[in-house]
Structure 1
Protein backbone atom coordinates (compact mmCIF):
# COMPACT_ATOMS: atom_id res chain seq x y z
CA UNK A 1 0.00 0.00 0.00
CA UNK A 2 2.90 2.38 0.74
CA UNK A 3 4.17 1.88 -2.81
CA UNK A 4 0.80 2.95 -4.22
CA UNK A 5 0.74 6.16 -2.20
CA UNK A 6 4.36 6.88 -3.16
CA UNK A 7 3.61 6.27 -6.85
CA UNK A 8 0.59 8.58 -6.78
CA UNK A 9 2.49 11.33 -4.98
CA UNK A 10 4.02 12.67 -8.19
CA UNK A 11 2.29 14.72 -10.92
CA UNK A 12 4.25 13.07 -13.75
CA UNK A 13 3.22 9.59 -12.68
CA UNK A 14 -0.39 10.73 -12.31
CA UNK A 15 -0.18 12.15 -15.84
CA UNK A 16 1.05 8.77 -17.12
CA UNK A 17 -1.83 6.99 -15.40
CA UNK A 18 -4.35 9.48 -16.81
CA UNK A 19 -2.93 8.90 -20.29
CA UNK A 20 -3.27 5.11 -19.95
CA UNK A 21 -6.79 5.54 -18.60
CA UNK A 22 -7.68 7.41 -21.78
CA UNK A 23 -5.84 4.98 -24.08
CA UNK A 24 -4.54 1.66 -22.80
CA UNK A 25 -1.65 -0.29 -24.33
CA UNK A 26 0.66 2.65 -25.19
CA UNK A 27 4.37 2.16 -25.87
CA UNK A 28 7.21 4.04 -24.19
CA UNK A 29 7.49 6.27 -27.27
CA UNK A 30 3.77 7.08 -27.13
CA UNK A 31 4.06 8.15 -23.50
CA UNK A 32 7.37 9.97 -23.93
CA UNK A 33 5.87 12.19 -26.63
CA UNK A 34 3.36 13.53 -24.08
CA UNK A 35 5.96 14.68 -21.52
CA UNK A 36 8.71 17.28 -21.49
CA UNK A 37 11.19 14.77 -20.13
CA UNK A 38 14.00 12.50 -21.28
CA UNK A 39 13.26 8.94 -22.31
CA UNK A 40 15.25 7.69 -19.32
CA UNK A 41 13.17 9.85 -16.99
CA UNK A 42 9.91 8.46 -18.35
CA UNK A 43 11.28 4.92 -17.97
CA UNK A 44 12.08 5.57 -14.29
CA UNK A 45 8.53 6.77 -13.62
CA UNK A 46 7.04 3.78 -15.45
CA UNK A 47 9.25 1.40 -13.45
CA UNK A 48 7.99 2.88 -10.18
CA UNK A 49 4.37 2.57 -11.36
CA UNK A 50 5.03 -1.04 -12.34
CA UNK A 51 6.61 -1.76 -8.94
CA UNK A 52 3.47 -0.33 -7.33
CA UNK A 53 1.28 -2.68 -9.41
CA UNK A 54 -0.50 0.29 -11.01
CA UNK A 55 0.52 -0.72 -14.54
CA UNK A 56 1.32 -4.01 -16.21
CA UNK A 57 3.19 -4.60 -19.46
CA UNK A 58 3.04 -6.91 -22.43
CA UNK A 59 5.59 -7.33 -25.23
CA UNK A 60 4.29 -7.67 -28.80
CA UNK A 61 7.03 -7.95 -31.36
CA UNK A 62 9.67 -5.29 -30.67
CA UNK A 63 7.37 -3.12 -28.61
CA UNK A 64 6.47 -3.12 -24.93
CA UNK A 65 2.91 -1.97 -24.26
CA UNK A 66 1.75 -0.48 -20.96
CA UNK A 67 -1.68 -1.07 -19.42
CA UNK A 68 -3.42 0.54 -16.48
CA UNK A 69 -4.10 -2.06 -13.79
CA UNK A 70 -7.19 -0.79 -11.90
CA UNK A 71 -7.25 -3.44 -9.17
CA UNK A 72 -4.80 -1.73 -6.77
CA UNK A 73 -6.90 1.44 -6.89
CA UNK A 74 -10.03 -0.63 -6.24
CA UNK A 75 -8.28 -2.25 -3.30
CA UNK A 76 -7.21 1.13 -1.95
CA UNK A 77 -10.83 2.28 -2.07
CA UNK A 78 -11.96 -0.95 -0.43
CA UNK A 79 -9.37 -0.64 2.35
CA UNK A 80 -9.54 3.08 3.12
CA UNK A 81 -12.84 4.42 1.74
CA UNK A 82 -15.47 1.69 1.62
CA UNK A 83 -15.39 0.90 5.37
CA UNK A 84 -16.50 4.48 6.04
CA UNK A 85 -19.26 4.42 3.41
CA UNK A 86 -20.84 0.99 3.86
CA UNK A 87 -21.17 -1.58 6.66
CA UNK A 88 -19.08 -4.25 4.96
CA UNK A 89 -15.58 -3.86 3.60
CA UNK A 90 -14.36 -6.13 0.85
CA UNK A 91 -11.37 -8.43 0.93
CA UNK A 92 -8.02 -6.82 0.11
CA UNK A 93 -6.62 -8.40 -3.08
CA UNK A 94 -2.97 -9.30 -3.46
CA UNK A 95 -1.40 -8.28 -6.75
CA UNK A 96 1.45 -9.15 -9.04
CA UNK A 97 2.51 -7.01 -12.02
CA UNK A 98 5.16 -8.75 -14.10
CA UNK A 99 3.71 -9.96 -17.44
CA UNK A 100 5.53 -10.21 -20.73
CA UNK A 101 3.67 -12.56 -23.04
CA UNK A 102 3.25 -12.45 -26.80
CA UNK A 103 0.00 -13.68 -28.30
CA UNK A 104 -1.02 -14.51 -31.83
CA UNK A 105 -4.15 -12.41 -31.31
CA UNK A 106 -2.07 -9.20 -31.30
CA UNK A 107 -1.72 -6.89 -28.36
CA UNK A 108 -4.63 -6.83 -25.89
CA UNK A 109 -6.83 -3.77 -25.63
CA UNK A 110 -7.16 -4.39 -21.89
CA UNK A 111 -5.28 -6.46 -19.29
CA UNK A 112 -5.79 -7.14 -15.60
CA UNK A 113 -3.92 -9.32 -13.10
CA UNK A 114 -4.64 -10.49 -9.58
CA UNK A 115 -3.36 -13.11 -7.14
CA UNK A 116 -5.86 -15.48 -5.53
CA UNK A 117 -5.01 -17.73 -2.62
CA UNK A 118 -6.38 -21.02 -3.95
CA UNK A 119 -5.35 -24.15 -5.79
CA UNK A 120 -5.05 -24.30 -9.56
CA UNK A 121 -7.90 -26.84 -9.64
CA UNK A 122 -10.18 -24.56 -7.61
CA UNK A 123 -9.57 -21.54 -9.88
CA UNK A 124 -10.04 -23.65 -13.02
CA UNK A 125 -13.37 -24.98 -11.74
CA UNK A 126 -14.53 -21.47 -10.79
CA UNK A 127 -13.82 -20.24 -14.33
CA UNK A 128 -15.39 -23.20 -16.14
CA UNK A 129 -18.32 -24.51 -14.04
CA UNK A 130 -21.64 -22.74 -14.61
CA UNK A 131 -22.87 -23.13 -11.03
CA UNK A 132 -19.70 -21.56 -9.64
CA UNK A 133 -19.74 -18.69 -12.15
CA UNK A 134 -23.28 -17.94 -11.02
CA UNK A 135 -22.17 -18.00 -7.37
CA UNK A 136 -19.65 -15.17 -7.75
CA UNK A 137 -20.79 -13.13 -10.76
CA UNK A 138 -21.56 -9.63 -9.51
CA UNK A 139 -24.79 -9.21 -11.50
CA UNK A 140 -26.08 -12.63 -12.56
CA UNK A 141 -27.49 -15.34 -10.30
CA UNK A 142 -27.81 -17.91 -13.08
CA UNK A 143 -25.29 -19.14 -15.65
CA UNK A 144 -26.20 -21.67 -18.31
CA UNK A 145 -23.52 -23.87 -19.87
CA UNK A 146 -20.08 -24.85 -18.62
CA UNK A 147 -17.03 -23.39 -20.36
CA UNK A 148 -15.75 -26.11 -22.68
CA UNK A 149 -14.68 -26.11 -26.35
CA UNK A 150 -17.41 -24.86 -28.71
CA UNK A 151 -19.92 -24.67 -25.84
CA UNK A 152 -22.17 -21.65 -25.25
CA UNK A 153 -22.19 -20.00 -21.80
CA UNK A 154 -24.93 -17.49 -20.99
CA UNK A 155 -25.10 -15.17 -17.98
CA UNK A 156 -28.71 -14.56 -16.91
CA UNK A 157 -29.79 -11.46 -14.97
CA UNK A 158 -32.45 -11.57 -12.21
CA UNK A 159 -35.10 -10.31 -14.66
CA UNK A 160 -34.45 -13.32 -16.92
CA UNK A 161 -32.60 -11.43 -19.66
CA UNK A 162 -29.24 -12.60 -20.95
CA UNK A 163 -26.49 -10.17 -19.98
CA UNK A 164 -23.53 -11.86 -21.65
CA UNK A 165 -22.96 -14.72 -24.07
CA UNK A 166 -19.63 -16.50 -24.49
CA UNK A 167 -18.43 -19.33 -26.72
CA UNK A 168 -15.27 -21.15 -25.66
CA UNK A 169 -12.85 -21.41 -28.58
CA UNK A 170 -9.69 -22.83 -26.98
CA UNK A 171 -8.68 -24.47 -23.71
CA UNK A 172 -5.31 -25.54 -22.35
CA UNK A 173 -6.27 -27.58 -19.26
CA UNK A 174 -5.90 -25.62 -16.04
CA UNK A 175 -3.84 -22.85 -17.67
CA UNK A 176 -5.66 -21.02 -20.50
CA UNK A 177 -9.23 -20.35 -21.69
CA UNK A 178 -10.06 -18.33 -24.82
CA UNK A 179 -13.66 -17.22 -25.38
CA UNK A 180 -15.81 -14.82 -27.36
CA UNK A 181 -17.32 -11.91 -25.44
CA UNK A 182 -20.80 -10.96 -26.64
CA UNK A 183 -22.15 -8.04 -24.54
CA UNK A 184 -25.90 -8.46 -24.99
CA UNK A 185 -26.47 -5.87 -22.25
CA UNK A 186 -25.40 -3.30 -24.86
CA UNK A 187 -27.98 -4.53 -27.36
CA UNK A 188 -28.24 -7.48 -29.78
CA UNK A 189 -26.06 -5.73 -32.38
CA UNK A 190 -23.22 -4.76 -30.02
CA UNK A 191 -19.79 -5.68 -31.46
CA UNK A 192 -18.35 -8.94 -30.22
CA UNK A 193 -14.81 -9.18 -28.86
CA UNK A 194 -12.51 -11.87 -27.49
CA UNK A 195 -11.03 -12.60 -24.06
CA UNK A 196 -8.48 -14.94 -22.52
CA UNK A 197 -7.99 -16.20 -18.96
CA UNK A 198 -4.42 -17.21 -18.03
CA UNK A 199 -3.75 -19.19 -14.86
CA UNK A 200 -0.27 -19.50 -13.37
CA UNK A 201 0.34 -21.28 -10.04
CA UNK A 202 2.55 -19.28 -7.67
CA UNK A 203 3.13 -21.35 -4.54
CA UNK A 204 0.05 -21.12 -2.33
CA UNK A 205 -1.61 -18.71 -4.74
CA UNK A 206 -2.56 -18.55 -8.41
CA UNK A 207 -1.97 -15.55 -10.66
CA UNK A 208 -5.00 -14.87 -12.85
CA UNK A 209 -4.51 -12.66 -15.90
CA UNK A 210 -7.42 -11.37 -17.98
CA UNK A 211 -6.72 -10.25 -21.55
CA UNK A 212 -9.44 -8.59 -23.65
CA UNK A 213 -9.02 -8.16 -27.41
CA UNK A 214 -10.89 -6.40 -30.24
CA UNK A 215 -12.82 -4.03 -27.99
CA UNK A 216 -14.89 -1.55 -30.00
CA UNK A 217 -14.93 2.20 -29.32
CA UNK A 218 -17.26 2.91 -26.41
CA UNK A 219 -16.51 -0.39 -24.68
CA UNK A 220 -13.81 1.00 -22.37
CA UNK A 221 -16.27 0.62 -19.49
CA UNK A 222 -15.72 -3.14 -19.59
CA UNK A 223 -12.70 -2.48 -17.34
CA UNK A 224 -14.99 -1.72 -14.38
CA UNK A 225 -16.90 -4.94 -14.96
CA UNK A 226 -13.67 -6.95 -14.99
CA UNK A 227 -12.56 -5.30 -11.75
CA UNK A 228 -15.85 -6.19 -10.05
CA UNK A 229 -15.86 -9.74 -11.42
CA UNK A 230 -12.28 -10.55 -10.42
CA UNK A 231 -12.72 -9.00 -6.97
CA UNK A 232 -15.82 -11.12 -6.40
CA UNK A 233 -14.09 -14.24 -7.73
CA UNK A 234 -11.17 -13.68 -5.37
CA UNK A 235 -13.45 -13.19 -2.38
CA UNK A 236 -15.50 -16.26 -3.34
CA UNK A 237 -12.45 -18.53 -3.54
CA UNK A 238 -10.66 -17.14 -0.48
CA UNK A 239 -13.58 -16.64 1.92
CA UNK A 240 -16.56 -18.49 0.44
CA UNK A 241 -18.45 -15.20 0.11
CA UNK A 242 -18.88 -13.43 -3.22
CA UNK A 243 -19.23 -9.67 -3.74
CA UNK A 244 -22.66 -9.48 -5.35
CA UNK A 245 -24.14 -6.23 -6.62
CA UNK A 246 -27.18 -4.70 -4.98
CA UNK A 247 -30.42 -6.46 -5.84
Structure 2
Protein backbone atom coordinates (compact mmCIF):
# COMPACT_ATOMS: atom_id res chain seq x y z
CA UNK A 1 0.00 0.00 0.00
CA UNK A 2 2.98 2.33 0.54
CA UNK A 3 3.75 1.98 -3.17
CA UNK A 4 0.24 3.22 -4.03
CA UNK A 5 0.58 6.40 -1.96
CA UNK A 6 4.09 7.01 -3.30
CA UNK A 7 2.84 6.64 -6.86
CA UNK A 8 -0.04 9.06 -6.27
CA UNK A 9 2.19 11.65 -4.62
CA UNK A 10 3.19 13.26 -7.91
CA UNK A 11 1.12 15.44 -10.25
CA UNK A 12 2.64 13.91 -13.39
CA UNK A 13 1.70 10.39 -12.35
CA UNK A 14 -1.79 11.56 -11.43
CA UNK A 15 -2.06 13.18 -14.87
CA UNK A 16 -1.08 9.88 -16.50
CA UNK A 17 -3.78 8.07 -14.54
CA UNK A 18 -6.33 10.74 -15.50
CA UNK A 19 -5.37 10.31 -19.14
CA UNK A 20 -5.83 6.54 -18.97
CA UNK A 21 -9.16 7.01 -17.20
CA UNK A 22 -10.26 9.15 -20.15
CA UNK A 23 -8.81 6.76 -22.77
CA UNK A 24 -7.57 3.33 -21.77
CA UNK A 25 -4.99 1.31 -23.69
CA UNK A 26 -2.61 4.13 -24.74
CA UNK A 27 0.93 3.64 -26.00
CA UNK A 28 4.02 5.35 -24.59
CA UNK A 29 4.07 7.64 -27.60
CA UNK A 30 0.48 8.76 -26.99
CA UNK A 31 1.13 9.44 -23.31
CA UNK A 32 4.44 11.21 -23.98
CA UNK A 33 2.73 13.62 -26.39
CA UNK A 34 0.57 14.92 -23.54
CA UNK A 35 3.46 15.83 -21.23
CA UNK A 36 6.30 18.35 -21.41
CA UNK A 37 8.85 15.67 -20.52
CA UNK A 38 11.40 13.38 -22.11
CA UNK A 39 10.45 9.83 -23.08
CA UNK A 40 12.76 8.51 -20.36
CA UNK A 41 10.97 10.64 -17.76
CA UNK A 42 7.55 9.37 -18.84
CA UNK A 43 8.82 5.78 -18.77
CA UNK A 44 10.11 6.27 -15.24
CA UNK A 45 6.73 7.54 -14.03
CA UNK A 46 4.93 4.69 -15.79
CA UNK A 47 7.30 2.22 -14.14
CA UNK A 48 6.40 3.53 -10.68
CA UNK A 49 2.70 3.30 -11.49
CA UNK A 50 3.15 -0.26 -12.75
CA UNK A 51 5.13 -1.20 -9.61
CA UNK A 52 2.17 0.02 -7.55
CA UNK A 53 -0.22 -2.05 -9.74
CA UNK A 54 -2.10 1.12 -10.67
CA UNK A 55 -1.51 0.39 -14.33
CA UNK A 56 -1.07 -2.85 -16.22
CA UNK A 57 0.48 -3.26 -19.64
CA UNK A 58 -0.07 -5.46 -22.66
CA UNK A 59 2.50 -6.03 -25.44
CA UNK A 60 1.02 -6.50 -28.91
CA UNK A 61 3.54 -6.62 -31.74
CA UNK A 62 5.94 -3.70 -31.35
CA UNK A 63 3.54 -1.66 -29.24
CA UNK A 64 3.01 -1.70 -25.48
CA UNK A 65 -0.42 -0.57 -24.28
CA UNK A 66 -1.11 0.88 -20.83
CA UNK A 67 -4.34 0.36 -18.88
CA UNK A 68 -5.63 1.90 -15.67
CA UNK A 69 -6.04 -0.72 -12.93
CA UNK A 70 -8.48 0.74 -10.40
CA UNK A 71 -8.72 -2.25 -8.06
CA UNK A 72 -5.87 -1.17 -5.72
CA UNK A 73 -7.58 2.21 -5.28
CA UNK A 74 -10.90 0.47 -4.58
CA UNK A 75 -9.22 -1.55 -1.83
CA UNK A 76 -7.92 1.67 -0.23
CA UNK A 77 -11.43 3.15 -0.37
CA UNK A 78 -12.97 0.03 1.14
CA UNK A 79 -10.41 0.02 3.95
CA UNK A 80 -10.59 3.61 5.14
CA UNK A 81 -13.12 5.77 3.34
CA UNK A 82 -16.18 3.60 2.75
CA UNK A 83 -16.81 2.77 6.45
CA UNK A 84 -17.12 6.51 7.10
CA UNK A 85 -19.68 6.95 4.34
CA UNK A 86 -21.91 3.93 4.72
CA UNK A 87 -23.66 2.46 7.72
CA UNK A 88 -23.24 -1.30 8.18
CA UNK A 89 -26.83 -1.97 7.13
CA UNK A 90 -26.37 0.01 3.95
CA UNK A 91 -23.07 -1.74 3.22
CA UNK A 92 -25.00 -4.93 2.50
CA UNK A 93 -26.62 -3.10 -0.40
CA UNK A 94 -23.31 -1.53 -1.51
CA UNK A 95 -22.43 -4.88 -2.03
CA UNK A 96 -21.05 -7.17 -7.19
CA UNK A 97 -19.01 -12.89 -29.64
CA UNK A 98 -17.83 -11.61 -31.73
CA UNK A 99 -20.29 -14.11 -30.11
CA UNK A 100 -19.70 -17.18 -32.20
CA UNK A 101 -18.20 -20.56 -31.26
CA UNK A 102 -14.74 -21.12 -32.66
CA UNK A 103 -13.73 -17.45 -32.81
CA UNK A 104 -10.08 -17.19 -33.78
CA UNK A 105 -7.51 -16.06 -31.21
CA UNK A 106 -7.92 -12.33 -30.64
CA UNK A 107 -5.16 -10.20 -32.12
CA UNK A 108 -6.59 -6.76 -31.34
CA UNK A 109 -5.84 -5.08 -28.06
CA UNK A 110 -8.52 -5.12 -25.34
CA UNK A 111 -10.55 -1.99 -24.68
CA UNK A 112 -10.30 -2.52 -20.93
CA UNK A 113 -8.00 -4.47 -18.58
CA UNK A 114 -7.93 -5.09 -14.85
CA UNK A 115 -5.65 -7.18 -12.67
CA UNK A 116 -5.66 -8.34 -9.07
CA UNK A 117 -4.02 -10.91 -6.82
CA UNK A 118 -6.15 -13.32 -4.79
CA UNK A 119 -4.99 -15.60 -1.98
CA UNK A 120 -6.67 -18.82 -3.13
CA UNK A 121 -6.01 -21.99 -5.09
CA UNK A 122 -6.22 -22.15 -8.85
CA UNK A 123 -9.08 -24.66 -8.54
CA UNK A 124 -11.05 -22.34 -6.26
CA UNK A 125 -10.65 -19.36 -8.58
CA UNK A 126 -11.62 -21.36 -11.65
CA UNK A 127 -14.71 -22.68 -9.87
CA UNK A 128 -15.71 -19.16 -8.78
CA UNK A 129 -15.47 -17.83 -12.34
CA UNK A 130 -17.17 -20.72 -14.11
CA UNK A 131 -19.90 -21.83 -11.69
CA UNK A 132 -23.25 -20.03 -11.66
CA UNK A 133 -24.00 -20.74 -7.98
CA UNK A 134 -20.63 -19.31 -6.94
CA UNK A 135 -21.36 -16.01 -8.72
CA UNK A 136 -24.27 -15.28 -6.37
CA UNK A 137 -21.78 -14.88 -3.51
CA UNK A 138 -19.83 -12.00 -5.05
CA UNK A 139 -21.68 -10.40 -7.99
CA UNK A 140 -22.43 -6.82 -7.02
CA UNK A 141 -26.07 -6.90 -8.25
CA UNK A 142 -27.26 -10.40 -9.11
CA UNK A 143 -28.49 -12.64 -6.31
CA UNK A 144 -29.85 -15.17 -8.80
CA UNK A 145 -27.65 -16.73 -11.47
CA UNK A 146 -28.70 -19.68 -13.63
CA UNK A 147 -26.64 -21.99 -15.83
CA UNK A 148 -27.94 -23.76 -18.93
CA UNK A 149 -25.16 -25.62 -20.74
CA UNK A 150 -22.55 -23.03 -21.76
CA UNK A 151 -24.91 -20.13 -21.00
CA UNK A 152 -24.98 -18.29 -17.67
CA UNK A 153 -27.79 -15.77 -17.04
CA UNK A 154 -27.60 -13.07 -14.35
CA UNK A 155 -30.85 -11.66 -12.93
CA UNK A 156 -31.38 -8.24 -11.39
CA UNK A 157 -33.10 -8.06 -7.96
CA UNK A 158 -36.44 -7.33 -9.68
CA UNK A 159 -36.18 -10.62 -11.61
CA UNK A 160 -35.31 -9.18 -15.02
CA UNK A 161 -32.38 -10.52 -17.03
CA UNK A 162 -29.43 -8.15 -16.74
CA UNK A 163 -26.60 -10.11 -18.40
CA UNK A 164 -26.03 -13.31 -20.41
CA UNK A 165 -22.61 -14.88 -20.86
CA UNK A 166 -21.89 -17.78 -23.20
CA UNK A 167 -18.64 -19.73 -23.00
CA UNK A 168 -16.66 -19.26 -26.22
CA UNK A 169 -13.39 -20.99 -25.43
CA UNK A 170 -11.67 -22.41 -22.35
CA UNK A 171 -8.28 -23.65 -21.29
CA UNK A 172 -9.27 -25.33 -18.01
CA UNK A 173 -8.08 -23.53 -14.87
CA UNK A 174 -6.09 -21.01 -16.96
CA UNK A 175 -8.21 -19.14 -19.51
CA UNK A 176 -11.94 -18.51 -19.84
CA UNK A 177 -13.37 -16.53 -22.77
CA UNK A 178 -17.05 -15.60 -22.71
CA UNK A 179 -19.50 -13.46 -24.61
CA UNK A 180 -20.76 -10.42 -22.68
CA UNK A 181 -24.38 -9.74 -23.63
CA UNK A 182 -25.87 -6.91 -21.51
CA UNK A 183 -29.65 -6.67 -21.19
CA UNK A 184 -30.11 -3.98 -18.54
CA UNK A 185 -31.22 -1.33 -21.07
CA UNK A 186 -33.13 -3.59 -23.42
CA UNK A 187 -32.68 -6.71 -25.58
CA UNK A 188 -30.81 -5.01 -28.43
CA UNK A 189 -27.62 -3.94 -26.64
CA UNK A 190 -24.56 -5.10 -28.65
CA UNK A 191 -22.46 -7.97 -27.28
CA UNK A 192 -18.74 -7.96 -26.58
CA UNK A 193 -16.19 -10.44 -25.22
CA UNK A 194 -14.41 -10.89 -21.90
CA UNK A 195 -11.41 -13.06 -21.07
CA UNK A 196 -10.25 -14.21 -17.62
CA UNK A 197 -6.60 -15.24 -17.33
CA UNK A 198 -5.43 -17.16 -14.24
CA UNK A 199 -1.75 -17.43 -13.31
CA UNK A 200 -0.95 -19.32 -10.07
CA UNK A 201 1.95 -17.93 -8.03
CA UNK A 202 2.41 -20.22 -5.04
CA UNK A 203 -0.35 -19.57 -2.48
CA UNK A 204 -1.91 -16.79 -4.59
CA UNK A 205 -3.34 -16.41 -8.09
CA UNK A 206 -2.93 -13.46 -10.43
CA UNK A 207 -6.23 -12.78 -12.19
CA UNK A 208 -6.27 -10.60 -15.31
CA UNK A 209 -9.49 -9.49 -16.98
CA UNK A 210 -9.49 -8.37 -20.63
CA UNK A 211 -12.64 -6.91 -22.20
CA UNK A 212 -12.76 -6.63 -26.01
CA UNK A 213 -15.02 -4.86 -28.49
CA UNK A 214 -16.92 -2.73 -25.96
CA UNK A 215 -19.57 -0.84 -27.96
CA UNK A 216 -20.00 2.91 -27.70
CA UNK A 217 -22.19 3.77 -24.74
CA UNK A 218 -21.09 0.80 -22.63
CA UNK A 219 -17.85 2.29 -21.29
CA UNK A 220 -19.44 2.28 -17.83
CA UNK A 221 -18.93 -1.49 -17.57
CA UNK A 222 -15.51 -0.70 -16.04
CA UNK A 223 -17.20 0.27 -12.78
CA UNK A 224 -19.11 -3.00 -12.74
CA UNK A 225 -15.92 -5.01 -13.28
CA UNK A 226 -14.23 -3.21 -10.37
CA UNK A 227 -17.11 -4.03 -8.05
CA UNK A 228 -17.43 -7.64 -9.20
CA UNK A 229 -13.72 -8.47 -8.97
CA UNK A 230 -13.46 -6.78 -5.57
CA UNK A 231 -16.34 -8.97 -4.39
CA UNK A 232 -14.74 -12.08 -5.91
CA UNK A 233 -11.43 -11.42 -4.14
CA UNK A 234 -13.12 -10.76 -0.79
CA UNK A 235 -15.34 -13.85 -1.00
CA UNK A 236 -12.50 -16.19 -1.93
CA UNK A 237 -10.19 -14.83 0.78
CA UNK A 238 -12.72 -14.60 3.62
CA UNK A 239 -15.48 -17.06 2.78
CA UNK A 240 -18.01 -14.28 3.41
CA UNK A 241 -20.43 -13.08 0.73
CA UNK A 242 -19.26 -9.75 -0.67
CA UNK A 243 -21.50 -7.59 -2.86
CA UNK A 244 -20.01 -4.17 -3.53
CA UNK A 245 -23.02 -2.50 -5.06
CA UNK A 246 -23.64 1.20 -5.53
CA UNK A 247 -24.90 3.21 -2.55
CA UNK A 248 -28.65 3.79 -2.37
CA UNK A 249 -29.68 7.42 -2.12
CA UNK A 250 -32.20 8.51 0.45
CA UNK A 251 -35.67 9.18 -0.89
Instruction: Say whether the fold is shared (TM-score over 0.5).
Output: yes
> What SS does the corresponding residue of 1:186 show, helix, strand or coil?
coil
Q: 2: CA distance between counterparts of 1:168 and 1:2?
A: 39
Q: 2: CA distance between counterparts of 1:4 and 1:186?
A: 36
Q: CA RMSD in A?
A: 1.7
Structure 1 residue aligned with 2:123: 121
Structure 2 residue aligned with 1:22: 22
Structure 2 residue aligned with 1:78: 78
Q: Deviations over 1:74-127 (max 9, x none)?
A: 11111221122234589xxxxxxxxxxxx6341111111111111111111111
> What SS does the corresponding residue of 2:188 show, helix, strand or coil?
coil
Structure 2 residue aligned with 1:191: 190
Where do 1:5-16 residues align within 5 Å? 5-16=5-16
Structure 2 residue aligned with 1:93: none
> What SS does the corresponding residue of 2:206 show, helix, strand or coil?
strand
> What SS does the corresponding residue of 1:136 show, helix, strand or coil?
coil
> What stretches of structure 1 of length at least 5 have no aligned partner?
91-102
Structure 1 residue aligned with 2:95: none
> What SS does the corresponding residue of 2:136 show, helix, strand or coil?
helix
> What SS does the corresponding residue of 1:166 show, helix, strand or coil?
strand
Mapped contact 1:199–1:207 kept (Cα < 8 A)? yes
Structure 1 residue 186: Cα displacement: 2.8
Mapped contact 2:146–2:154 kept (Cα < 8 A)? yes
Q: 2: CA distance between counterparts of 1:31 and 1:211?
A: 21
Name the CA shift for 1:215/1:196 in 2 (closer, same or farther; >3 Å). Answer: same
Mapped contact 1:163–1:183 kept (Cα < 8 A)? yes
Q: Deviations over 1:47-84 (max 9, x none)?
A: 11111111000001100000000001111111221122
Where do 1:131-150 residues align within 5 Å? 131-145=133-147
Higher relative contact order structure (alpha carbons within 8 Å, sequence separation ≥ 6): 2
Q: 2: CA distance between counterparts of 1:29 and 1:214?
A: 23
Mapped contact 2:137–2:242 kept (Cα < 8 A)? no
Structure 2 residue aligned with 1:210: 209
Mapped contact 1:105–1:213 kept (Cα < 8 A)? no
Structure 1 residue aligned with 2:223: 224
Q: 2: CA distance between counterparts of 1:118 and 1:5?
A: 26
Structure 2 residue aligned with 1:62: 62
Q: Deviations over 1:117-166 (max 9, x none)?
A: 111111111111111112221111111116x6xx1110011211011011
Give the alignment's TM-score, normalised by structure 1: 0.89
Q: 2: CA distance between counterparts of 1:49 and 1:174?
A: 29
Structure 2 residue aligned with 1:97: none
